[in-house]
Chain A
Amino acid sequence: MTRHLLIGSGVAAVAAAETIRKMDEQAVIELIAQDPAGYYSRPGLAYVLSGEVNEKMLFPFSADDFRRLGVRLHSARATRILPAQKMVELDGGSTRLAYDRLLIATGARAIRLNVPGADLEGVFKLDTMEDARRLIRAARPGRSAVVTGGGITALELAEGLAARQMNVHYVLRGERYWPGVLEESESRIVENHLQRMGIRLHHKQEVAEVLANRGKVGGVRLKSGEQIPCDLLAFAIGIEPQAELAREAGIQCDRGILVDAQMQTNLPGIYAAGDVAQVYDETTGQYVLDSLWPEAREQGRMAGRSMAGKAGAYHKTIPINVTRLAGLTTTIIGRVGKGHDADLLQIARGDSETWRQMPDTLMAQTGFEVNHLRLVLGADHILGALVMGDQRLSSPLQKIISRPVDIRPIRARLLEPGAPIADILADFWNELQTSSPTEG
């Protein structure tokens, strides 16, 4: 009987457990979870903050589901990996668990804000279930909040707090929102929407200090010297893989834990998957980090397969996220941006390093404030796309880019000035469907 030990209770670990069980009914599967809330939809935390769903809905698996999977849960923190003994130490104490195969799926954590006063009561991040609960308790209608940072989570914080009737100030270091991924016109679309929601933007500013009022947050001082009185400060300035356990055990790491196509680390029998893993991307030839739920699941599955002794190789898929940016549903696929983002120290949640690998190439775009479509064109293929508003082309584009489909028949037309690119693509897709309907 093989003993499988999984560190972490996120989607990567759960997907690995499911896969191992499918392939080996006898295997012992043990899971170490430090988060008392266990396994939940972390992207869903934003919807709990905005009030669209209640907290209870975020748990995809019941205790029964775990029992049926035959997974033994340990509520503890893994504090040391001892590769020579094939053991993992729990809670810094004498309890140790033995393994034949080990998966490190410890995810990533929010990078801390490093300014005076950042440890005051009333400073929040949105990382875990407990963070969401605390933030919701503190978000009182009619009071003021300052949000700082970049990427999707900063926006979710600003919008979520505005949905809770707070007066929200959004402080950005840069000249515009999410410059590493969005074009200038797209940033402006988002910012206009935020302003319409009543959110006040402060560009080229930085929180220099959190000011106390009776021991709690009472305001912030910006670099310019301006002060904004507020009752809470929420930040999202990027995330970092939780790779310390691996580093200390002598496992090869760069920014995350380096893994091969089987999700194995440089130490045989030890695997990594999800936000903590840095995986090889064939399209760019680099080892990259993602913080995407479906990618974490796929990696967990592949790790599970390898741990169960089955052959297979992980091929990084084209990263995609469908999210809302200031109320506008937006799909981001493949390589769409480049450039520096002063608001993020690393990638954010729901983010991919691959999105920033846009080559110097041609772009076709169309649309205005509500519906906007941008394509990044290579010689034969579409390399990336951003779809804002009307989502009818979102799924077709995901397929056209992932497969990838040869677009030479329409490329020249897409690049004509003022081309109706949505219609050209829709016709092209419909024709593809008729010629090979099964591939849809």
Chain B
Amino acid sequence: MDFRFTDDQLAMRDVVRDFCNEEIAPKAAWRDETHSFEDDLIAKLGSLGLFGTYVPEAYGGSGQDYITYVMTVEELSRACGATGILVSAHHSLCVDPILHFGTEEQKHKYLPKLSSGEWIGCFSLTEPGSGSDAGAARCTAKETGEGWVINGTKNFVTNGREAHVIVLFAVTDPTSKHRMSAFIVEKDTPGCTLGKLETKLGIKASSTAELIFENCVVPHDALLGERGRGLNVALATLDGGRIGVAAQAVGISQAALDFAVDYANTRVQFNQPIGRFQAIQWKLADMATNLAAARTLMYRAAWLKQNKQPYGPEAAMAKLFASEMSNRVTDAAIQVYGGYGYCADYPAERLMRDARITELYEGTSEIQRLVIARKLTQEPAWAAR
């Protein structure tokens, strides 16, 4: 048992931290304001290998371990929550299912360009009529001589604006129990168009897009995994994605704590730094304590995944706790800042807005609780470890 990072992981953390201090953090407010990423951001992230962190070198990735990946998402999110999810959604939701369910051909075709950042990836499961109840999706894929013909509307696709590669879920066998299948679709395929981009509360620079499919034909070998196993691909993928969202929440919260501590040391009221008041100390102590709890849950889930052990409920715990924690922690940061916390000249309000999403996507808090409770009630011995 060892809770420490390895030397390699620490070295990588230093590299990412330096990069974040120079490139990511200074532009976080600008990204939020303009709802965009700067033009060279993707190239810079790519040059550090941050789009294929745990993709094996044989497929053009950086070949690092999964914990290193999670740590990079944490660090990027600490500097900018939107940049964090750009990288996390790309890896967890597009690269990961191709790695796990893709054929050798698919891996060789997509992973090198995804790893370099030449192509960005996204994941398209949600539809206007099906969110938590993802199995009720209506977008269809019909098999014909030419290939699969896709029709339907998807929404809320993170990275939809930047992405070239879409991991798409569509109904192939409407009457079967196994009605949905997964596909790899390239966005420039005729019949696939980018629809509306959402205007959101937070992570404003991250695109949340509608994708419209009208008789969009993809080849037979665009199928990802077995026909009819789409929901399994989606759920297995989301298990991993939840660790990435937990890392995003932890990173955002660490930033909130860092800023709050600095402010508590420097803001003077009643002739003393406000950090001398227990009312403020309590907030800081609770922030740090809950942050530590979330972080350890997150790395445990990551370690289980890295070691190919079952990790679904553990990932749900990490995501549930980290996301709710991040909402409490960023809210506390605003309170430490007082009125300035409510103003965009200071980072606290942006952090709070960014944190809010972590309780929603890749399974809401409610869905995480259902996942955990199912495990507990069906397998009571698991509760005792």
Are these two chains actual partners, yes or no?
no
Enumerate chain A interface residues (CB-CB to B < 8 A). Answer: none
